[in-house]
Amino acid sequence: MKKTLAENIYEKLLMRLLMNEYVPGEFLNRRTIAEEMGVSVAPVMEAMLRLKSEGFLENISRVGTRVRLFKKDVILGHLILREALECQAARIYCGPCIKSNLNSLLKEAVLLDMIPEGTPEDFREEIRFHTKLVNLTGCGPLTEEFMRIANISLFCSLNRLPAIGVPVVKNNHKNLVESLLVDDEDKAENIMREHLRKGKGNIFNQLYHERGNI
């Protein structure tokens, strides 16, 4: 299906966000963007409204639209949502589905594990790999929601998490793939949760402490 003009502009603006061309707190002028892209203001407005609904942009009264400034409790919320979605996905695709895609998954996992930890490339490829895993469920709505949350997670990783001052642990994705060969939904869910908590555990713990939950 051919994409609409607004959808194309949305994808371009999203890519700029994920490539750090737009940073938190930066104001975006829809007329400037429209002139730059050679389109009318209407599709730019539609694209920006979608980015706002997804949590990337926010309106500041009497000032304009800016890239959202993510607070720590919002980051924590998205980490919790991502964990919930990925753990449910692991219950669906574990065992036979992993086995039928094993060679390609292992190949990509090994390449991902070779990328230096904490780099923009590491963050981007980690999201891409986990999106591929979730897509194995064959559940469109689940994959779509995961991609929305994952993109915000990526944006926070690139822009906000370094400022929190806690290290991100490099996970072993080859071991993850091999472990998910297990044909047991409960075990697969625990495997995925352990994997995610190992990589983001320091962030979870600090944010929970700051909210007074533990």
Note the pTM of the prediction, 2 decimals.
Answer: 0.77
Q: Which has more confidence, 164 or 50?
A: 50
Q: Which residue type, as a one-letter code, is found at position 102?
A: L
Q: What is the pLDDT of residues 75-121, one digit of tens each?
A: 788 888 999 999 999 999 999 999 999 999 999 999 999 998 878 78
Per-residue tokens: 125: 């490829």
Read off the DSSP letter of residue 58: E
> Do residues 150 and 165 make contact, with C-beta atoms less than 8 angstroms apart?
no
**Listing from the earlier edge strand, what are the strands of the sheet with 64-67?**
27-28, 64-67, 57-60
Which residue intervals of 70-139 are DSSP H helices?
A: 72-93, 96-100, 102-113, 120-135
d(C-alpha 35, C-alpha 134), whole Å? 38
pLDDT at 136 over 90: yes
- How does the average pLDDT of the chain come out, rounded? 87
- What average pLDDT does the segment 176-181 reach? 97
